[in-house]
Amino acid sequence: MQWIKTQGWKLLSLLILIYTIIGGFLIPVPRLPILNETVRNLFFHVPMWFGMLVLLLVSLVYSIRYLRKGRAHDDDYALEFVRSGIFFGILGILTGMWWAKFTWGDYWSGDPKQNASAIALLIYLGYMLLRNSVADEEKRAKIAAVYNIFAFAAYIPLIYILPRLVDSLHPGAEGNPAFSAYDYDNQLKQVFYIAILGWTLLGVWLTQLHVRLRRSERKQLERSLQQTNSTNKKTKKSNSSLESL
């Protein structure tokens, strides 16, 4: 029972992703104008963006918890959830560019949705740069937590509000409905909704791995510092003994 709680969800994630990949390439899809076979990207591009949203939202929660309690544990998770979110964002943009090439005729057409996505990703890349620019660990965590809150506040309108208010080629914009044309097709729903869960669980899994690695590196650094301090103390005692002689 304990194994199911701690490891079972990871196995579930793998099974869902295998199902998503196999089903995404093999199940029959509706023949829609312009989209045709590229509609299969629905199982990859869109769930990755949903996964990014969930990961960044969880990161926001951990940043708020850090500001309230000041625990390094919360800062670790805030950082690594952002890192995983950025990874999914890059995958989302790349798969979106591939989709745009076949449907809009160019990888990057300056569409408001594309531009907003790039800006949102740059904001979170700025979060990573900010962390690397502050030496003091506690100060770095506090500044990063505050930045993360404002970054998420900018992310939502950039991705989900502003592009809907202007003309855009991207589904979901003004006069261009989101997924009503194909999302409710029963064949696509067999894969689409479960794919969101699979990609999100993969992001959580990657985050946990990075957190464990981060904690391991911190412990090794603490041990190294302790050994160095111990060596310095022994050296001082030895020097003082020699001086007394």
Instruction: Give the whole-angstrom CA distance, residue 77 versus residue 55.
Output: 10
Residue 242 pLDDT grade (very low, low, confident, very high; cuts 50, 70, 90): low
> What pTM did the predictor assign?
0.84
Is residue 47 within 8 A of residue 16, CB to CB? The reply is: no
For the chain, give the percent of residues with pLDDT over 90.
40
Q: What is the pLDDT of residue 161?
A: 83
Contacts of 46 (CB under 8 A, 6+ apart): 179, 192, 196
Average of pLDDT values for 4-8? 72
Mean pLDDT to the nearest integer, 104-133? 90
For the chain, percent helix, then strand, then coil, each to nearest 5? 80, 0, 20
Residue range 181-197, pLDDT digits in tens: 444 567 777 888 899 99
Alpha-carbon distance of 198 to 196, in angstroms, equals 6
What pLDDT sits at residue 177?
Answer: 47
Q: What is the mean pLDDT of the chain?
A: 83
Residue 119 has pLDDT above 50, yes or no: yes
- Between 130 and 111, residue with greater pLDDT: 130
Q: What sections of the chain are H helices per DSSP? A: 2-3, 9-26, 45-69, 72-103, 112-133, 137-156, 186-244
Q: Where do we find the tokens 């990075």?
A: 210
Give residue 33's pLDDT: 67
Rounded to the nearest angstrom, the gap between the alpha carbon of residue 17 and the centroid of all alpha carbons in its chain is: 17
Residues 144-173 have a mean pLDDT of 84
Alpha-carbon gap, residue 82 to 59, rounded angstroms = 6
d(CA 159, CA 51): 13
| Rounded mean pLDDT, 188-211 | 90
- The Cα–Cα gap between 98 and 35 comes to 12
* pLDDT at residue 151 is higher than 90: yes
pLDDT tops 60 at residue 103: yes
Retrieve residue 212's tokens.
């464990």
pLDDT at 84: 95
d(CA 202, CA 33): 33
CA dist 3 and 87 (Å) reads 28
Q: Which two tokens stand for residue 213?
A: 């690695």
Cα–Cα distance for residue pair 49/89, rounded to 1 Å: 6
Is it the case that residue 1 has pLDDT exceeding 50?
Answer: yes
Give the residue-averaged pLDDT of 51-63. Answer: 96
Helix axes 186-244, 45-69, angle to 10 degrees: 40
Q: What is the pLDDT of residue 50?
A: 92
